[in-house]
Amino acid sequence: MAMIEIRNVSKWYGEFNVLKDCSTTVDKGQVVVVCGPSGSGKSTLIKCVNALEPFQQGDITVNGQSLCDPATNLPKLRAHIGMVFQNFELFPHMRVLDNLNLGQTKVLKRDRATARDRSLELLKRVGLEAHAQKYPGELSGGQQQRVAIARALAMDPIAMLFDEPTSALDPEMINEVLDVMVALAKEGMTMMVVTHEMGFARQVAHRVIFMDEGSIVEDTSKEEFFGSPRSERAQQFLSKILHH
């Protein structure tokens, strides 16, 4: 069953065509890695999935609900799609615990005690329960990103979107974040991950999407992608990043 279905999506920034007729699906429980050179539109595509970026053509359905349908309650839909950003985007004026409570109390209307229990449970899961009362600015980048993942999970999402979750991190902190993501993937979470971490892709991805200049150039199984990518552009890309 398709959890996320992207059909013929095109997007322009003025004259500039950022997304060109992109189509793909992410099935329930699948982990799909989106990679490609910078400026290829992969971040834009993933932001379209929860309607943070508008697009001019095509349609996206999430769990059977179309983003283009005026009857769709966008905030309600977004509440069920977890999103993790490149720059964490924790709320710096709130304690870690309150960052996790906010969506639960305001959107899911959980009472404070229930929200708090869920938050602490998730902080424990990402190994940060000791930091619940700190402000995000007091944590390292890796810790902040783990809090951000916990914040997204606190909404009990049906799918998770990751927009280059490790790109802003110091190298020694990348693994602590990837470990959390790998654990999530193994639990069967539906995930769409924009990343350059090919190790992560090899380990847990079911499919790999390769984008270039706004188009989806390859959309294949992991084995096929790392074994013998069909397009020359993907081969070049792989040879460049896998040497390091």
Partner 1 sequence: MLGEFDFDVIWRSLPYLFKQGMTFTLTITFTAMGAGIVLGTLLAMMRLSSFKPLAMIAGGYVNLIRSLPLVLVIFWFYFLVPWIGQWITGAERPVLVGPYLSSFITFTLFEAAFYCEIMRAGIQSIPRGQVAAGYALGLNYWQTMGTIVLPQAFRNMLPVLLTQTIILFQDTSLVYVLSISDFLGAAAKIAQRDSRLVEMYLFAALVYFVLSYTASHYVKRLQARLAIVR
Residues forming the site for partner 1 (CB under 8 A): 47, 50, 52, 75-83, 85, 87, 89-93, 102-103, 106-108, 135, 137-138, 151-152, 155
* Shortest distance, position 30 Cβ to partner 1, whole Å: 21
Q: Give which of 161, 148, 150, 154 is closest to 50, Cα–Cα.
A: 161
Q: Give which of 5, 13, 24, 1 is closest to 216, Cα–Cα.
A: 24
Nearer to partner 1, 154 or 201 (CB): 154
Query: For residues 141-176, b (16+ Cβ closer than 10 Å) or e, as one string?
Result: bbbbbbbbbbbbbbbebbbbbbbbbbeebeeebbbb
* Shortest distance, position 76 Cβ to partner 1, whole Å: 6
Nearer to partner 1, 191 or 201 (CB): 191
Residue type, 121: E
* Shortest distance, position 107 Cβ to partner 1, whole Å: 4
* Shortest distance, position 230 Cβ to partner 1, whole Å: 34
* Shortest distance, position 117 Cβ to partner 1, whole Å: 18
Nearer to partner 1, 70 or 75 (CB): 75
Q: How far is CA 112 from CA 90, 99, 101, 102, 160, in A?
A: 20, 13, 8, 10, 24
Nearer to partner 1, 68 or 107 (CB): 107
Nearer to partner 1, 2 or 52 (CB): 52
What's the distance, CA 146 to chain centroid? 13
